Amino acid sequence: MHTRPLARADLITGVILVVFGVAAFAESWGMPRLEERSINPWTAPGLVPGLLGAVIALLGLVLALRSAFAGAFGPQIPLDDDTPEERRAAWRRLALCSVLCFVYSVVLVGHTPFWFATGLFVFVFIVAFEWERNEAWASRGRKFAIAALIAVLAAGLIPYMFETLFLVRLP
């Protein structure tokens, strides 16, 4: 019986995520709780990282278990279907993603308002990865509109959540 081609990779990724999530949770547990200053416990600096670490660990466990049940320990189907063109395209996508993340984190954040940097990043990221060369202009317009809507929502909701719910000042 052959298994899904990426079941073993999912298992390894799941284990790495569990280890990372548990480490993040453990480190956040050791952060000061500021009880001696009578500060609200919901504003403790380790709360959000601890919750995120717990969620990452839980989802990593789900991924690892799902891949184990999918036969990650059994024989794998080889993935020799990739052509050199597909591999180059994958490397181009990785490079594009890396450049966009670098520009966002180093160039935009801290030099422009956070909401603007986030909205622009989300819009450009979606458009860059949804763009198809031989696509009709009507379809492109629809994709631009959807990307703009998602970018506006992200530009509004992300700062609101961090500043209002998590009480984190943004750059």
Model confidence pLDDT, tens digit, residues 34-93: 766 777 777 777 888 899 999 999 999 999 999 888 877 777 666 556 678 888 888 999
In the prediction, which pLDDT does 45 show? 78
Q: 122 - beta bridge partners?
A: none
Domain ranges of the chain: 7-69, 84-165
Question: Which of 78, 55, 59, 57 is closest to 67 using CA atoms?
Answer: 59
Distance CA 59, CA 98 (A): 24
Range 30-37 average pLDDT: 74
* Tally of CB atoms within 10 A around 81: 8
Total residue length of the chain: 171
8 A C-beta contact, residue 124 and residue 103: no
Query: pLDDT tens, 113-145?
Result: 999 999 999 999 999 998 877 777 777 888 899
Question: Which of 145, 87, 91, 97 is closest to 121 using CA atoms?
Answer: 97
* Tally of CB atoms within 10 A around 25: 19
